[in-house]
Structure 1
Amino acid sequence: MTDLVSGPPTERSPGEATQADLKSSTRSDSRFERLTSRRWVLRLAEAVVSLAAGLGFLLLSLHISANPLSRIGQVSGLAKVQQYVALVGLPILAVLLWTAYRGTLRRYQLVQRIACGALAGLATGVVAGGIAVALNGTPWGLGGQEGDPGNLMGMANDMLRGKGLPGVYPPGFPALLALWAKYFHGGIAGVGYALKDLQLLLSALVGPMAYLAWRLVLRPFWALVIAVSSSVLFLDPIRPYSHVVMLMLLPVLAACFRELRRSPELTVRSTVLRGAGFGLVFGLMFLWYSGWYLWSAPGAFLLAALLFPWRRGRHAVKHALLFLGSIVAVAAVVGLPLLYQLARLGSETVDRYAYINTYIDPAYVLGWASDRTGGLSYHNWPQSGELAGQSGFAVLLLLGVGIGVGLGLRNVVVRTAGFVLAGAWLLRFWFASHMAHDQAVQLYPRTTWIIMYCLMILAVLGAKLVHERGVGWIRTALDSAGAPAAARISPRAMAQLAAGLICAVALFGTMGASWSANRYMPSANPSKVEDMGLDAYRAHTLQTEKGVCPKYSPVKDCSPVNMELKTYYFEPDSKLWCANADGEFQAVCGRKP
């Protein structure tokens, strides 16, 4: 046997060296097993790897040099992003597959956790990397100083001027934007540059945050499936802070309801501390972006009432009340600034902005078009499917939803998604049905996102339950038939299957992320077709701090920077303001422009 121990070969015999190595290896393995047996260590490692993967890939993508104002340059940039993610992701998948086939099951479970966390980070890291390509050569973020980005900059500027909270808008992101501009870009003059930084950083973190939230209630593979598919679909790099709250709110609610059912089994101290922890999370997310709380509230309150242990005795009721009271108290204290603004100004804030999503069939919830519609109108979008207008994807999705509800109605995650879905559905049609009478939209099209998210959750849980029930039934049947061991489903076979499916999810993530980033590439001709690339185009037509155009600017005379930018709102109106209705305003809005 070859002696692999460093040092003179005459110091010990090969046999003695081998025994020493074995003892050292045993001690090393024992220390490794003790370390990985601690739950907090595994969770911390999973979180660190996921966050590092997203942020690290963004930093890697910042080195891509391509002209984003040329379509060939855009394609080259997106291809370089895919090349990078392959170089990073393929070794991760190789280790996962090798461990599934050659490693111990304990080692595979550890590798699977780390690999799933890394892939969740890479999924939205690719989106952020693509946006970095779209903004290459300009210090400005998506949107420049127009539209919602201009509003956000105005809010941050007002905060820097000491004017307090931005009305009823959640203050979390504007406050972070103001602080980032103050400490990294010199204050008000650098708010636009700070917005670009945060658009990229927060876009990269959406996948890890969604994944880690789902890990509260699901195992790594199923958390990865939901986190990757929903993140690349719903991520909006112009406002990445808003959708991450929606993606996290559902799993956090499910975890909260699970603890509500368990509260009678806990001590008073543990009950209060857990409730306070959930209250802190809910309060911070409320300050970060509060809109999803409205659409989730009806279903969440009803489910809480149904899960409350009314009939389990005084002890159970006391502990459940302590748990819910701790949540409400802490969340109210943390969210008090915004709650105060909503109570003071909420009745005066009316949303009258109508656009393409308010003109289509209100029962359509499987797609979204922004007010940068390109060639879309309510006449040609959404396209009619084969079965009563429903596409094959819609039928398969609803089939998965039916299976999830049918097999898992007692599962707290299924119940959470189902009740939130039902509540958001009713609110959607309440506001839509009153739109013509009240001349107010009240943001009801945004229920499209949370409804589709709930449908996706239920469909994935349906697949999970079919897998669990199916494997259980097959094993029972084989055991009753006395099948030989070779014919039975082994844990090793299930590990290999899971590893293969993770590879498929990773491939979907990179393809979907590239699709997401491609939508925001600068428009070739925004004067004729206003699509989602308009926001990146605007970032290349604003002057830099030196008073010159960005490197790849398509125009010779760039727009000057508005240093006095303040928060602005549409002027008060008693009628709907209809966008995407040029040429047929009367037919769409029912009145003259």
Structure 2
Amino acid sequence: MTDLAPNIIGAPSSRPDGAEGVPSDGKSTARSGGRFDRWTQKRWFLPLGEVVVSVVVALGFMLLCTHISVNPVTRIGQVSGLAKVQQYAALIGIPVLAVLLFLAYRGTLRYYQVAQRLVCAALAGLATGIVAGGIAVALHGTPWGLGGQEGDPGNLMGMANDMMRHKGLPGVYPPLFPALLALWAKAFHNGIADVGHALKDLQLILSALVGPMAYVAWRLMLRPFWAMAIAVPASIVFLDPIRPYSHGSMLVLLPLLAAAFREIRRADQLTTRSAVLRGLGFGIVFGVMFLWYSGWYLWAAPGGFVLGLLLFPWRRGRVAVTRALTFLGAMLVTAAVIGAPLLYQLARLGASTVDRYAYINTYLDPAYVMGWASDRAGEQTYHNFPVSGELAGQTGFGILLLLGVGIGVGLGLRNIVVRTAGFVLVGAWLLRFWFASHMAHNQAVQLYPRTTWIIFYCLIILAVLGLMLTYERGFGWIRGTLQEVAPARAARISPRLLSQLAAGLICVTALFATMGGSWSANRFMPSTNPGIEDLGLDALRAHLQQLPNGKCPKYSPYKGRQDCAPVNMKLSEYVFVPPARPSLWCANTTPQNLEFVCGRQPKN
């Protein structure tokens, strides 16, 4: 584990990811003087460079894709648009990867170290930039965002409209995103009249930024390659362009929790002033994230609370205890003050807010956490999803992932990131089965299927850390053994060789990012399967919503003014109203199967 930026680039290190080290001849590549050396040795320069590169690549690529002109309502147009996105990714990515490979083989190790950091940051931005670019293609020709004015997007617009009407906070929903939506609509659109157009902007921008957010958060705890190895697949798998703010907060929460626990564990090394300032910093971030999207705090709370008790320096003396309490006090008080508006609403309305919405994930085997089916399930049912695997229903991917998790826990139980992911996983696992086991009796879901995401995320983290620890210890063991029996061969395992290996793995990760990003974007292309409610329905609705002039969007399959859905100018916050009796509202099922799924007769 390292800080975001090492003090000296090119300093000797045994880390095998090629990020730092000495060349094979044993001579340091660091040179005194030179503008490059002076800038890269500043603690803030390279971290800032990673942030800027990742964000610029993500947003720039998304904006580039807004110029792709196809008819996204036809399948041929969708394929052409996705192909153009891949062409752009190749034209940008191939030269960058070529430079990285050249530096790994022919350049100085010092230049390669800097290039590796920037390329890893760029790939994190490119991964979600491709998804956002694909969504931009799907919404080409319409000013509306995914969903039009229906479902969750309609809820968000209603909340923003209520805020613009000065009606206060929208119930127990985190208010920061609706507030941002309201401000964006006022600043760049026509307020309430075009709040749906503002939502499209934020869906694209925030979808693109999910990768950079995850990468930067993981750089607090991991070196560039391993931060990218978690951020890229996790961002693509969990990104939901309809509500990109929710999953982005989950991706950031886990590394921030690990960083906070690291401060508690080394509290005796902090001064009182440092403990207060660090606590204030973490408190501000956690408080803002709570207002941004609070749901993940519930699932992470049990495991985080227990781990905090275990890591607290109870037996390390008065100074350590005092500094840890100072850090915790500053963090918790600051977070509570910032999150007070939502905390008040939760205390006032939380007990009366019951989730009775059941859908396909509610009907699945509750032990299945290796995938997710949206309530836009298409032709999927709990009879054919998930596909049964080869070993007790588990797929080859699932077995390999669990193997990586076992290695990560076995080799890294003392690692603070392994502990954080492990404890959060166990806590969310127990909450999942608590709520699921009481669902039939209480007729309440309480959002327990959402634990699938955070549990799956923890499994990915642990598996990647298992690879990292195997990589580090494996090369360390090989080098140490060879030094005893064949010193000449041990010298061949140099930072140069490891840099070349890391460069090759980065190229493969880039290929995965382009393929995975295209897969994610393809799911949200406007539905061309009439009558089937799949993920493409939300993009199709954006093409079926009237323009301000009353006409249909450019590529709408409806050409007349009367066919497209009229704009609801009175849209206000609304919540699902359950039936008069306390029973589940069961989606993703037919009236004929309602009795077999939910145990009640359909209404006539």
TM over 0.5: yes
Q: For structure 1, which segment, 411-420 or 373-382, has the greater mean C-alpha deviation from structure 2 after superposition?
A: 373-382
C-alpha displacement of 1:525 = 3.1
- Do structure 1's residue 576 and structure 2's residue 584 form an aligned pair? yes
C-alpha displacement of 1:487 = 5.9
Q: Which residue of 2 aligns with 1:590?
A: 599
Match of 1:537 among 522, 540, 560: 540
For residues 467-509 of structure 1, the C-alpha deviation after alignment (integer angstroms, 9 at most, x for no partner) is: 0000010011011103315763111000000000000001000
Q: Which residue of 1 aligns with 2:129?
A: 125
Q: Equivalent residues in 2 for 1:432-447 (5 A)?
A: 432-447=436-451
Match of 2:555 among 552, 555, 558: 552
Q: Which residue of 1 aligns with 2:487?
A: 483
C-alpha displacement of 1:29 = 5.9
CA contact (8 A) 1:172 1:287 kept: yes
- Do structure 1's residue 116 and structure 2's residue 120 form an aligned pair? yes
| TM-score normalised over the length of structure 2 | 0.93
Q: Equivalent residues in 2 for 1:323-334 (5 A)?
A: 323-334=327-338
C-alpha displacement of 1:262 = 1.4
> Where does structure 2 lack aligned partners over 5 or more consecutive residues?
1-29
One-letter identity of the residue aligned with 1:568:
Y
One-letter identity of the residue aligned with 1:295:
W
CA-based RMSD of the aligned residues comes to 1.2
Q: Distance in 1 between matches of 2:566 and 2:131?
A: 29
| TM-score normalised over the length of structure 1 | 0.95
Match of 1:563 among 566, 569, 572: 569
> Where does structure 1 lack aligned partners over 5 or more consecutive residues?
1-25
One-letter identity of the residue aligned with 1:254:
A
Aligned length: 567
Q: Which residue of 1 aligns with 2:467?
A: 463
Q: Distance in 2 between matches of 1:570 and 1:205?
A: 30
CA contact (8 A) 1:203 1:237 kept: yes
Q: Equivalent residues in 2 for 1:68-107 (5 A)?
A: 68-107=72-111
C-alpha displacement of 1:524 = 1.0
Q: Distance in 2 between matches of 1:27 and 1:110?
A: 15
For residues 193-241 of structure 1, the C-alpha deviation after alignment (integer angstroms, 9 at most, x for no partner) is: 0000000000000000000000000000000010000000000000000
Relative distance call for 1:479 and 1:52 in structure 2 (3 A) is: same
Q: Distance in 1 between matches of 2:578 and 2:232?
A: 41
Q: Which residue of 2 aligns with 1:353?
A: 357
One-letter identity of the residue aligned with 2:589:
A
Q: Which residue of 1 aligns with 2:205?
A: 201
Per the alignment, in what secondary structure is the counterpart of residue 584 of structure 1?
A: helix
Q: Which residue of 2 aligns with 1:17?
A: none
C-alpha displacement of 1:375 = 0.6
Match of 2:291 among 287, 291, 302: 287
Q: Which residue of 1 aligns with 2:278?
A: 274
CA contact (8 A) 1:126 1:514 kept: yes
For residues 242-301 of structure 1, the C-alpha deviation after alignment (integer angstroms, 9 at most, x for no partner) is: 000000000000111111111211110011000110010100110000000000000001
Q: Which residue of 2 aligns with 1:10?
A: none
Q: Which residue of 1 aligns with 2:195?
A: 191
Q: Distance in 2 between matches of 1:299 and 1:197?
A: 36
CA contact (8 A) 1:475 1:488 kept: no
- Do structure 1's residue 417 and structure 2's residue 425 form an aligned pair? no
Larger radius of gyration: 1
Q: Which residue of 2 aligns with 1:223?
A: 227
Q: Distance in 2 between matches of 1:31 and 1:48?
A: 20
- Do structure 1's residue 243 and structure 2's residue 247 form an aligned pair? yes
C-alpha displacement of 1:370 = 0.6
Q: Distance in 2 between matches of 1:171 and 1:104?
A: 50
Q: Equivalent residues in 2 for 1:121-520 (5 A)?
A: 121-485=125-489, 488-520=492-524
Per the alignment, in what secondary structure is the counterpart of residue 551 of structure 2?
A: coil
Q: Distance in 1 between matches of 2:99 and 2:432?
A: 46
